[in-house]
Chains A and B, each alone.
Chain A
Amino acid sequence: MNLFLNQILAIVWKDFVTELKTRELFSAMFIFALLVILIFIFSVNLSVVKASEVGPGVLWVAFLFSGTIGLNRSFMLEQENGCLMGLMLVPADRTAIYFGKLISNFIFLSIMELFILPLFMIFFNIDILEHLLPLLIVIFLGTLGFCALGTLLSSLASNLKTREIMLPILLYPLLIPIIIAVVRMTGQILNGEPLSEMMNWIGLTASFDIIYIGVSIMTIDHILEE
């Protein structure tokens, strides 16, 4: 068990050191998310449309699209110089590799989201500070589901020449339940509704998070082996 945890931490450490040196992933994700929000700001007349109605969709489009850039980059890094082969040769459980990459992806995306949230608040003129805790819970659940499934699918797509195209094509349809749930919940939170009135949506999102992680644990061995 100790070795399993150490291997997970080693992968997270390696991804962090690489990112600290290159700063490729975070800057790409952040700029992309910011551009998405700016484009919507310029295309939507906020004096006509209520910000709390259009805002949640814009926020999650920014998170998910920029997150896809991160997921694509995640296993591309392992493909360079045959590093994935190097990982396959160590006596590591394949789920340790999966969880290491999942945690890295989750942390990178979460950091980017924390930087984007204040800008979203300023651009859409929405005070999210009073709803911050429920909003962070929803973002946590949505990001976890996105990363859980995205990490699995990016490992699957990493061997394909068309991986940049294949990942979103595979990922978004399977994410629909979570996308619907988190956008609805974000809208309700911005309208001032308490989290206790969204327990069905929270249950749905948490269930899909568990399903995605469970399916990943069951299949990652076969996906990485062949």
Chain B
Amino acid sequence: MVDHPKPNSSDSAIEVRHLRKEFGVLKAVDGISFELKRGEFLSVFGPNGAGKTTLIKILTGLTRPSSGTARVAGYEVEEGRSEMRREIGVISHSTALYADLTPMENLIFFGKMYGLERPAESALASLEDVGLAPRRHDRVRTFSRGMVQRLSIARAILHDPSILFLDEPFTGLDIHASNVLKEQLQNLHNKKRTILMTTHDVSCGLEMCDKVALQVMGRFAFFTDIKEVNKENFETMYFDAVRDNQFTMGIRA
């Protein structure tokens, strides 16, 4: 029986120190450090290939870092993976849903995998949260991209995690579906869930977050409070930072 590290008592939801992930000569994550308090919402922006997805994969225990440490929900990601997984929910561009099953069947299955006592009741409650209860007996294959993404949220919150990781959740959504998703994320944030979201959607990302970061070539070009960001000038800041790959604002590392 492995003695997993116990969660610490601090109010940090995510603590990252000098995190690196290398694929040969490519540095997907290059010495990132930051801290996110419980209940905070961090939006991570960055161009394609900046290493945002790799960062999320490390923090969710899907891949191991080359060096550095990460604590999620008080657990060392490397050592306390099983315990940590009870505390996190993940939504990515892959839906992680079985297309030939219904939403109820999908969520009951994941509920059983999480060891929930009443998976059917939890599944129905999650579906009601995302407004998909009326379609609970239809096959997922028949759903639109927006509905599937809402179902992904239902799957991710099924076990009532305290931390949510969202990897470009607005990809492929139309305006209406984006607004619905934004509303649901706002609800989750209001329920004091810690959220780390990578996105290309500047307006959505800035509107909802408490903290904002820009990742370029594996590094955080900046990580700061949303109050310190001038939303009108954000795009200019973004392009300047991407072009220069320089640290343009105070890094809280």
Give bound CA distance, A92 to B100, whole Å. Answer: 23
Identify which of A10, A22, A89 contacts B100 (C-beta below 8 A).
Answer: A22
What are the residues of chain A within 8 A of B113 when measuring CB–CB?
A: 7, 10-11, 87, 90, 92
Asked whether, in the complex, the Cβ of A85 is within 8 Å of the Cβ of B94, the reply is yes
Asked whether, in the complex, the Cβ of B109 is within 8 Å of the Cβ of A14, the reply is yes
Asked whether, in the complex, the Cβ of A86 is within 8 Å of the Cβ of B97, the reply is yes
Least Cβ–Cβ distance between A217 and chain B, in angstroms: 16
Give residues 100-114 of B contacting A (CB, 8 Å). Answer: 100-101, 105, 109-110, 112-114
Give bound CA distance, A3 to B82, whole Å. Answer: 13
Contact of B83 with A by CB under 8 A: yes
What are the residues of chain B within 8 A of A88 when measuring CB–CB?
A: 62
What are the residues of chain A within 8 A of B68 when measuring CB–CB?
A: none
What are the residues of chain A within 8 A of B92 when measuring CB–CB?
A: 82, 85
Asked whether, in the complex, the Cβ of A89 is within 8 Å of the Cβ of B101, the reply is no
Give bound CA distance, A96 to B234, whole Å. Answer: 47
Closest A residue by C-beta to B165 = A89
Least Cβ–Cβ distance between A97 and chain B, in angstroms: 9
Closest B residue by C-beta to A21 = B100
Asked whether, in the complex, the Cβ of B85 is within 8 Å of the Cβ of A91, the reply is yes
> What's the tally of chain A residues with a CB closer than 8 Å to chain B?
28
Q: Given A89-B60, A90-B85, A91-B115, does the pair A10, B109 have CB atoms closer than 8 Å?
A: yes
Identify which of A6, A14, A85 contacts B98 (C-beta below 8 A).
Answer: A14
Least Cβ–Cβ distance between A29 and chain B, in angstroms: 17
Identify which of B61, B63, B83, B110 contacts A86 (C-beta below 8 A).
Answer: B110
Give bound CA distance, A1 to B115, whole Å. Answer: 11
Contact of A83 with B by CB under 8 A: yes
What band does the interface of chain B fall in when counting residues whose beta carbon is under 8 Å from A? 20 to 34
Contact of B27 with A by CB under 8 A: no
Convert A4-15 into 0s and 1s, putting 1 for each residue whose CB lies closer than 8 angstroms to a CB of B: 001101110110
Give bound CA distance, A90 to B155, whole Å. Answer: 11
Closest A residue by C-beta to B95 = A81
Asked whether, in the complex, the Cβ of B110 is within 8 Å of the Cβ of A90, the reply is yes
Least Cβ–Cβ distance between A137 and chain B, in angstroms: 33
What are the residues of chain A within 8 A of B100 when measuring CB–CB?
A: 18, 21-22
Asked whether, in the complex, the Cβ of B94 is within 8 Å of the Cβ of A7, the reply is no
Specify which of A85, A89, A90, A225 lies most central, judged by the most chain B CB atoms within 10 Å of its CB. Answer: A89
Contact of A80 with B by CB under 8 A: yes
Closest B residue by C-beta to A22 = B100
Asked whether, in the complex, the Cβ of A81 is within 8 Å of the Cβ of B112, the reply is no
Contact of A111 with B by CB under 8 A: no
Asked whether, in the complex, the Cβ of B98 is within 8 Å of the Cβ of A83, the reply is yes
Give bound CA distance, A17 to B88, whole Å. Answer: 27
What are the residues of chain B within 8 A of A91 when measuring CB–CB?
A: 82-83, 85-86, 114-115
Contact of B229 with A by CB under 8 A: no
Convert A90-125 into 0s and 1s, putting 1 for each residue whose CB lies closer than 8 angstroms to a CB of B: 111100000000000000000000000000000000
Asked whether, in the complex, the Cβ of B63 is within 8 Å of the Cβ of A226, the reply is yes
What are the residues of chain B within 8 A of A225 when measuring CB–CB?
A: 64
Contact of B72 with A by CB under 8 A: no
Residues of B participating in the A interface, judged by any CB pair closer than 8 Å: 60-64, 82-83, 85-86, 88, 90, 92, 94-101, 105, 109-110, 112-115, 139, 155
